[in-house]
Amino acid sequence: MSDTWGLKLADPLFEKLTVIGCGLIGSSLLRVARRNNLARQLVAADVSPAVCVRVRELGLADHATSDLAVAVAGADLVILCVPVGANESVGRTIGPALAPGTIVSDVGSVKGAVVAALSPHMPAGVHLIPAHPVAGTEHSGPDAGFATLFLNRWCILTPPVDADESAVKKLSDFWTAAGSNVETMTSEHHDLVLAITSHVPHLIAYNIVGTAADLEVVTQSEVIKFSAGGFRDFTRIAASDPTMWRDVFLNNKDAVLEILGRFTEDLSALQRMIRWGDGDGLFTLFTRTRNIRRSIIESGQETAAPDFGRHQSDPQ
């Protein structure tokens, strides 16, 4: 593999890329945009002056500012990388400063709520094309990002039905050049798919780690000492950013509650199998689930390594 995975562009796709929110995802985008020559000029914007200082120290952008409206002036691509619940206020701030023809996108883990939050603030002629890179780690902030975060991961675009085709193609080319595989679907379908593949699994991890912390008959030191029995993998997920995940659950309420209802029913069925000694039922289910894991490994979305290959990157 070449230094830039063969994806370095001879001519940048965009003249000026503005990334708003320079945490894990935003700083990773700036890194890969620089590395693969995706935009001629890179501007970073974050409400936090401390984050802007750090972005300058790390040399992630040509310019870093806390003034979001100034940051988007003259940009032909603006990507919002803020917690889902912050999109509305960012949209309100930048809306009047956006030039016609600009593509505005985001990276939020929820799509329906982000579209509803941003749409009213987009002036005529601005193309709102939401996106979600299904790639991440449990770490936050500008130091946590890395240029290969999106490599071989899916990026889901959820363009509105009347979206400008050339703008969708350009954004798709951008993510492809960042190393991602691009898929397109509606925001409603995205939110349901992610509820089962990401959101409910995170809720289960938060819950089981919380339950263990509250147990009185098993000490905390025993939980930590014997965590390799399976608990340890839940703790990694349960260490994910509290702000980000609070916003995910508040903004994908319907889909999460729908999947949680199904999950609770299936859990009750398992409970019954254990109570009535239905070994065949348990064995059949565990065989089916083992096959699902094998399919995920075969599709390249996971490794069979004992540490799950999670030295730095993990899809969420």
Residue numbers of the site for ligand NAP (CB under 6 A)? Answer: 20-26, 46-48, 51, 81-84, 86, 89-90, 107-109, 132-133, 136-137, 140-141, 241, 244, 316
Maximum C-alpha span of the chain: 67
Judging by DSSP bridges, how do beta strands 14-20 and 154-157 pair with one another?
Answer: unpaired
CB of 81 or CB of 167, closer to ligand NAP: 81
Tell me how far apart the alpha carbons of residues 196 and 257 are, in angstroms, rounded to a whole number. 10
Crossing angle of helices 200-214/242-251, nearest 10°?
120
Find the shortest distance in angstroms from Cβ 138 to ligand NAP: 7
With CA atoms as reference, report the closest residue to 29 among 185, 153, 129, 120: 153
Tell me how far apart the alpha carbons of residues 121 and 91 are, in angstroms, rounded to a whole number. 6
CB of 12 or CB of 33, closer to ligand NAP: 33
End-to-end CA distance of the chain: 25
Crossing angle of helices 253-275/200-214, nearest 10°?
60
Tell me how far apart the alpha carbons of residues 299 and 210 are, in angstroms, rounded to a whole number. 32
Find the shortest distance in angstroms from Cβ 54 to ligand NAP: 9
- Cβ atoms within 10 A of the Cβ of 204, count? 16
Find the shortest distance in angstroms from Cβ 172 to ligand NAP: 17
Find the shortest distance in angstroms from Cβ 165 to ligand NAP: 25
CB of 44 or CB of 259, closer to ligand NAP: 44
Find the shortest distance in angstroms from Cβ 192 to ligand NAP: 16
Find the shortest distance in angstroms from Cβ 272 to ligand NAP: 35
CB of 84 or CB of 104, closer to ligand NAP: 84
Instruction: Determine contact, residues 40/15, Cβ cutoff 8 Å.
Output: yes
CB of 201 or CB of 281, closer to ligand NAP: 201
Find the shortest distance in angstroms from Cβ 100 to ligand NAP: 23
CB of 12 or CB of 237, closer to ligand NAP: 237
Structure tokens at 126: 């601005």
C-alpha distances in angstroms, 34 versus 16, 17, 31, 108, 240?
12, 10, 5, 22, 27
CB of 48 or CB of 227, closer to ligand NAP: 48
CB of 44 or CB of 212, closer to ligand NAP: 44
Range 2-10, long-range pairs (CB < 8 A, 24+ positions): 4/35, 4/36, 5/151, 5/179, 7/36, 7/176, 7/177, 7/178, 7/179, 8/35, 8/36, 8/37, 9/36, 9/37, 9/38, 9/177, 10/37
Tell me how far apart the alpha carbons of residues 92 and 25 are, in angstroms, rounded to a whole number. 22
Find the shortest distance in angstroms from Cβ 286 to ligand NAP: 29
CB of 89 or CB of 223, closer to ligand NAP: 89
